[in-house]
Chain A
């Protein structure tokens, strides 16, 4: 029994990893005042590019570098069209997501003549697992937290980094000030547009890690539509945490647990679809509760005066 629990918790961490990357990526733009609906496309782009380039060059380093570049290129397209050409940000983001679902399949076909996945076609590299010395020997705990992919550990480091970036650095201060009052930031010479570009770029960088985890860690190949809504779940994890990276990580892990649970349930007779619905329904319910709390607070405050 204890063994099953440990295995399950291990799986929770494993499936939560891309969600954590996505959620903290969404936090960065949220703090700049923008909702990032395009995490999905950034992950897809980096997942495919990482596989293709690492396969072609047989260098993990170059592969990952290319993955980052791909995701950042997506953010540049989004930023340019919405902050310079004044296209609706949501529209561009959603358009990007659909474009990348198809676009990655197209590019995959171009490179491998395959339409489903790159499994047989490309000998791509992947990031390995890490056994943590000492901890791995602790019973139960070692089973849960040791032996994960390096990127999984990096995701937790990333949470700390993003927190540090947002709350302890000059650039974080500027991001938060633009998010709250762009005019105030502009009056002291901070260009909101630059900050928007920058925060989307950083968001793309972090989301790229999530994408590459999917194709170079969780799996070792790229499959069509392999992100399958994870970007959207990440975005909602961020949303119910109002952009705070640590809370967003917790939310992402709760959603990850639901995902892991539904994987387990598929084996049994219980309908796994109902569990798969959980993150989505949960988000809506929490958003409603937050709105109710907001209204109540406003009423209380008005009555105080």
Chain B
């Protein structure tokens, strides 16, 4: 018995490593193909994020929102719902937080209070917009994937509209909001880098998520609903409430993610296309196998890949976009239940035969 469990656990890790290795290998191959100086390019991609403090900070600039959206998607993914509202919420939260920051700038609030208030705005944005697909799904049975994707686009246009009509800065030539007051920004932990105070918020959020997952009744409920809804019903779990709550929590964390990101590394709100952050959160959740404890690991991996790619992008001419292909491969291979499944069965079979021989 114990043997099987060990094999399964080891195998899962092995599978993730293989998936990452395949994706990484393909990425390196792409770089080799395209670059005039392949060794320099590969070096930049693989080691680049660690070559200077600024670059390492850049990695954290991505790591922080991934922590939040990743933890958020854990809620959604663990309850077995495919709700992508995090994407739209992230963007909308960035927009509304900027709006609030610009308008409350001269109220003279203490720094900490101001920041926390703005993050609350982000969380509320998440709760309000996130509850729409969740409620429609659990109360009326409408496909949450379709609704959330539709809302993402609608929110993108709504945010653009708001920027144009309410927050537009006439003094600049491109489409962006007025400047976010210094007082509202999350302090950089190392100056002139993107490693900002939001990292504490991110880590606390991951901690709270893990706490909710494994140390509260709600977490038990969410995991049971996600694992077997019929059993959840038969054992008397309030499924509607649990699943709505799980999806709204996911959106709230995405909303905080948007707020932290905009207050951490931007001067103005200037997102004119979907940020893909919600989807990146899903990748983090897939990488961490729905377990919030592994979210920092997954977030770090993804941030590392993304940073390597963007360093490559500005040190050479290679477009950053090949990382998107890499991501897809990773998701595909990790989420595919049957990827290397036969190999696993063989291992377990072999182990049990060995054990039986031992008995005989």
- The segment out of B144-152, B198-206, B228-236, B253-261 that lies at the interface is B144-152
- Residues A277 and B157 in contact, CB atoms below 8 Å apart: yes
Q: What residues on B are CB-neighbors of A95 within 8 Å?
A: 327-328, 331-332
Q: Is B33 an interface residue (CB 8 A)?
A: yes
A interface, CB within 8 angstroms of B: 35, 37, 77, 81, 84-88, 90-92, 94-96, 98-103, 105-106, 109-110, 113, 115, 225, 229, 232, 235-236, 239, 271, 273-274, 276-277, 280-281, 283-284, 287-288, 291-292, 295
Give B34's nearest chain A residue, CB to CB.
Answer: A110
Give A108's nearest chain B residue, CB to CB.
Answer: B319
- Residues B150 and A295 in contact, CB atoms below 8 Å apart: no
- Rounded to whole Å, the gap between the CB of A68 and the closest CB of chain B is 21
Within 8 A of A (CB), among B264-298: 273, 276, 279, 282, 286
- Residues A109 and B34 in contact, CB atoms below 8 Å apart: yes
Q: What residues on A are CB-neighbors of B337 within 8 Å?
A: 85-87
How big is the B interface, by class? 35 or more
Q: What residues on B are CB-neighbors of A284 within 8 Å?
A: 132, 136, 147, 150-151, 154
Q: Is B142 an interface residue (CB 8 A)?
A: yes
A284 to B331, CA, bound (A): 28
A95-B328, A110-B33, A274-B157 as given contacts; A102 in contact with B322, CB under 8 Å: yes
A110-B34, A236-B146 as given contacts; A91 in contact with B164, CB under 8 Å: no
B147-181: contact bitstring with A at CB < 8 Å (1 yes, 0 no)? 10111011001101100110000000000000000
Q: Is B317 an interface residue (CB 8 A)?
A: yes
- Rounded to whole Å, the gap between the CB of B47 and the closest CB of chain A is 22
- Residues A91 and B82 in contact, CB atoms below 8 Å apart: yes
Q: 5 smallest A-B Cβ distances: which pairs?
A: A102-B324, A102-B321, A99-B328, A85-B336, A273-B161
A98-B279, A106-B325 as given contacts; A35 in contact with B146, CB under 8 Å: yes
- Residues B147 and A101 in contact, CB atoms below 8 Å apart: no
* 11 extra interface residue pairs, beta carbon distance < 8 Å, beyond A88-B82, A110-B34, A232-B153: A77-B332, A85-B338, A86-B336, A91-B335, A92-B335, A94-B279, A95-B331, A225-B273, A236-B146, A281-B154, A291-B136
- Rounded to whole Å, the gap between the CB of A78 and the closest CB of chain B is 9
Query: Chain B interface mostly helix, strand, loop or mixed?
Result: helix
Q: What residues on B are CB-neighbors of A295 within 8 Å?
A: 140
A84 to B160, CA, bound (A): 41
- Residues B336 and A291 in contact, CB atoms below 8 Å apart: no
A36 to B339, CA, bound (A): 22
Q: Is B30 an interface residue (CB 8 A)?
A: yes
B76-102: contact bitstring with A at CB < 8 Å (1 yes, 0 no)? 000000101000000000000000000
A301 to B140, CA, bound (A): 18
- Rounded to whole Å, the gap between the CB of A185 and the closest CB of chain B is 22
- Residues B279 and A288 in contact, CB atoms below 8 Å apart: no
A109 to B327, CA, bound (A): 19
- Residues A277 and B82 in contact, CB atoms below 8 Å apart: no
A86 to B38, CA, bound (A): 36
Q: Is B141 an interface residue (CB 8 A)?
A: yes
- List 16 A–B pairs whose Cβ atoms lie within 8 Å, in order of A's numbering: A81-B332, A81-B336, A87-B332, A87-B339, A98-B327, A106-B325, A109-B321, A236-B146, A236-B150, A273-B157, A280-B150, A280-B151, A284-B147, A287-B136, A287-B147, A295-B140
B310-343: contact bitstring with A at CB < 8 Å (1 yes, 0 no)? 0000000111111111011101100111110000
Give B139's nearest chain A residue, CB to CB.
Answer: A291
